[in-house]
Amino acid sequence: MSQKVLVIAEVRGGKLRQVTLEALAAARLVMQSGDQAEAVLLGHNVGEMASALASAGFARVHVADHASLETYNPETWLPVILDLVKSVQPSAIFTGHTAIGRDLAPQIAAQLGAGQISDVTAIDGGEFIRPIYAGKAFEKKKFASGPVIVTVRPNNFPPAEPAGSAGEIVSIDYAPPGSLKAVIKEVVRKASGKVDLTEARIVVSGGRGVKSAEGFKVLEELADVLGAAVGASRGACDAGYCDYALQIGQTGKVVTPDLYIACGISGAIQHLAGMSSSKVIVAINKDPEAPIFQVADYGIVGDLFEIVPLLTAEFKKILA
């Protein structure tokens, strides 16, 4: 008997987040022949994103479009999703391991009396693999019963390719609740630059070795050339060199880019927890004994203020 899988889509800055298509790719790994993937999209003026989802491989896209849904608030989002789950009866629910996904998924699981597995980086048959102990080990988990509720770590599954013809777009009748316990007046985004740090394919990151806020300009120039995001260690954030929105590590953001360039970062275990799963790691540090070299694929011993501008100049030539 065919079943349905539901993916909770996310939008940021008027664009569909890539992790939504990664969640679809993860969902396909548990789908059987004849199963159907559906998406739910909440927001305001999201017609263009709904069309993109319908063309991305979803058989049906459920859309709730209202001004009160533009900014995530569990009091407005959760009832819509729970009502949809009751009608669709999905065997599995997937979403990104993002700020929204980490908040929403456990609430859905609690309301449904279901299990949930967070921060999944791979799926092997019926087993879901996730990092533990700050990335030093991995565990495999299974669901004893359904529905399956999963959040997937960004950049660990290739975005799903379109399959078949465009799906159907279905509007959800939505009326905002009469009263809310919490009202979000404004969202102030502090970060991070031109590229979303958690979804960036390339990250140029700085530590205490950058020495100052001015020193980060060298990294930003390299990031601009590569189309990369800029990140930082907690030490750099604590020293006031940059905003905490850039922090990567155990108490910051977790990134898994194709290329991670660590500049002036010693490699404390707390920082490694946030970036050690990067596919290729390049470390630049004056100290040849810095722990970062133990996890780096390529290491450059030297002054970052000499090396990074040289890299920037060479990448400009190559990319031109």
Where in the chain does DSSP place strands (E)? 4-8, 11-12, 15-16, 36-43, 60-65, 92-96, 116-120, 122-124, 127-132, 137-141, 148-152, 168-171, 202-206, 229-232, 259-263, 280-285, 298-301
Q: Do 216 and 155 reside in the same domain of the chain?
A: no
Q: Total domain count for the chain?
A: 2
Q: Do 136 and 216 reside in the same domain of the chain?
A: no
CATH number, domain of 305, equals 3.40.50.1220
Whether 235 maps to a domain, the answer reads yes
Nearest-angstrom CA–CA distance, 74 and 294: 42
Whether 262 maps to a domain, the answer reads yes
Characterize 37-46 residue by residue with b for buried, 16 or more Cβ atoms within 10 angstroms of its Cβ, and e for exposed. bbbbbbbeeb
Last residue in a domain, options 119, 136, 171: 171
Q: How confident is the model at residue 193 (pLDDT cuts 50, 70, 90)?
A: low
Q: What is the DSSP letter of 247?
A: B
Last residue in a domain, options 127, 153, 171: 171
Q: 179 versus 96: which is more confidently predicted? A: 96
Q: What is the dihedral of CA 101, 23, 167, 108, to 10 degrees?
A: -30
Q: Residue 253: give the domain boundaries.
A: 197-319
By CB atoms closer than 10 A (0-12, 13-18, 19+), residue 90 is: buried
Residues 61-110 have pLDDT tens digits of: 999 999 999 999 999 999 999 999 999 999 999 999 999 999 999 999 99
* Parallel/antiparallel/unpaired status of strands 92-96 and 202-206: unpaired
Q: How confident is the model at residue 198 (pLDDT cuts 50, 70, 90)?
A: confident
**What is the overall mean pLDDT for the chain?**
92
Q: Do 219 and 140 reside in the same domain of the chain?
A: no
Coil, strand, or helix at residue 59? coil
Q: Do 46 and 147 reside in the same domain of the chain?
A: yes
Q: pLDDT at position 190, please? A: 60
Whether 176 maps to a domain, the answer reads no
Residue of 12, 194, 202, 222 lying closest to 96 (CA atoms): 12
Whether 255 maps to a domain, the answer reads yes
Whether 154 maps to a domain, the answer reads yes
What are the φ/ψ torsions at residue 246 (nearest 5 degrees)? Answer: -90, -5
Q: pLDDT at position 288, please? A: 96
Q: Do 207 and 93 reside in the same domain of the chain?
A: no
Q: Do 123 and 228 reside in the same domain of the chain?
A: no
Looking up tokens 């930082």 gives 232
Q: Do 304 and 218 reside in the same domain of the chain?
A: yes
Residue of 195, 188, 230 lying closest to 213 (CA atoms): 230
Whether 279 maps to a domain, the answer reads yes
Q: Do 72 and 155 reside in the same domain of the chain?
A: yes
Nearest-angstrom CA–CA distance, 259 and 268: 19
Q: Do 205 and 92 reside in the same domain of the chain?
A: no
Q: Do 62 and 101 reside in the same domain of the chain?
A: yes
Last residue in a domain, options 106, 136, 171: 171
Measuring CA to CA, how many Å separate 304 from each of 130, 240, 319?
34, 19, 21
Residues 233-281 have pLDDT tens digits of: 999 999 999 999 999 998 888 898 999 999 999 999 999 989 988 999 9
